[in-house]
Amino acid sequence: MVFARGVLVLVGMTLVASPVSAQVDIAGLWRPLARNQDGSGMDGDLAGLPLNEAGRQRALSWVPENFEVAELVCRPHAFDYSIEAGPSQLRWVPEVEDSTQRVVAFHGRLSMREQESDIWLDDRPRPSDHVRYSWSGFSLGTFEGNTLVQTTTHLKEAYIRRWGPMRSDRATVRTRWKRIGSYLRATVIIYDPIYMDAPYLRTSLFWVNDPNLVLPPYPCEEATGTVVEPGTVPHSLPGKSFLPAHDPNMTDAFGTPYEPRLGGVETMYPEYIAKMKTLPRPKNVMGEGDRGQ
């Protein structure tokens, strides 16, 4: 009987300890690997985005002058976008609790627009829905095997591509960090009940460990005056967007039909290619200087 109890105790300790032993250390300096950024060569192309009608109209209202609004000149890429935005060098620093020597948080910084993110591992409660939202939001982390799952809420509205499509401030962003030797992979999934009809997934996000990496500062000075008149909100009215992808008579060198460029859940899947082949192709091909930003 004593032996049986001892076995049960050992089994119980093993079960409790397993999640801890599976935790992965993402701390360090990480250099981004080359990747293809989301989207096609036509500014305004929404294909592959699970936008609902609200998300589509929000995207179609965008104009490049948005970047010239004085209050938005220093608007950063949100952390979840900076991860995907090309040459973002990355640093993760652990916070260790003195009394227990356990890691209670990872503090991250991206070189792109100096975005930071804190992943809390100590099961602290999420803040109220009424607190101030930020570009990085509030993140809790849990481990699933050797994957760190970062769940982020309390985010400001921000773009998921730089020419219109947005995620709302009600979105939840779940990022799965997996270390594979000297490589770090991030898989970002956006759940947005306001602008999307399905989760939006990005996976081509890889870094390699580089102990000699130096993260440069990214200073930005707020503007007091720009080409946009104070008090105005640049926008495009329905049906009036001038971005190439929003012109039903314009196409790219591949003859991309107009309908897929409006996005939607259906355009996310490879089966949609068969339908695209049946759609009419616009006759006017976009020239080299026809980009909309």
154 falls within a domain: yes
What are the tens digits of pLDDT across the range 55-79?
A: 999 999 999 888 888 878 788 888 8
Question: What is the C-alpha separation between 140 and 106, in angstroms, rounded?
Answer: 10
Which of the four pLDDT bands, split at 50, 70 and 90, describes residue 8? very low
Residues belonging to the chain:
293
52, two tokens: 């609902």
27, two tokens: 């701390």
* Residue 43 near residue 163 (C-beta atoms within 8 A): yes
Q: What CATH number is associated with residue 68?
A: 2.40.128
The β-bridge partners of 95 are 105
pLDDT at position 92: 96
Which of the four pLDDT bands, split at 50, 70 and 90, describes residue 172? very high
Q: Is the pLDDT of residue 250 over 80?
A: yes
What are the tens digits of pLDDT across the range 102-156?
A: 999 999 999 877 889 999 999 899 999 999 999 999 999 999 999 999 999 999 9
Q: Is the pLDDT of residue 203 over 90?
A: no
Question: What is the C-alpha separation between 285 and 244, in angstroms, rounded?
Answer: 10
Domain coverage including residue 139? 28-38+62-209
Cβ partners under 8 Å of residue 4, min gap 6 = none
6 falls within a domain: no
145 falls within a domain: yes
Give the pLDDT mean for 238-256.
89
* Residue 251 near residue 41 (C-beta atoms within 8 A): no
Domain count, the chain: 1
21 falls within a domain: no
261 falls within a domain: no
266 falls within a domain: no
Q: Residue with structure tokens 């971005």?
A: 243
- Where is 110: in which H helix or E strand? strand 103-110
Computed over every residue of the chain, the mean pLDDT equals 85
260 falls within a domain: no
pTM (2 decimals)? 0.85
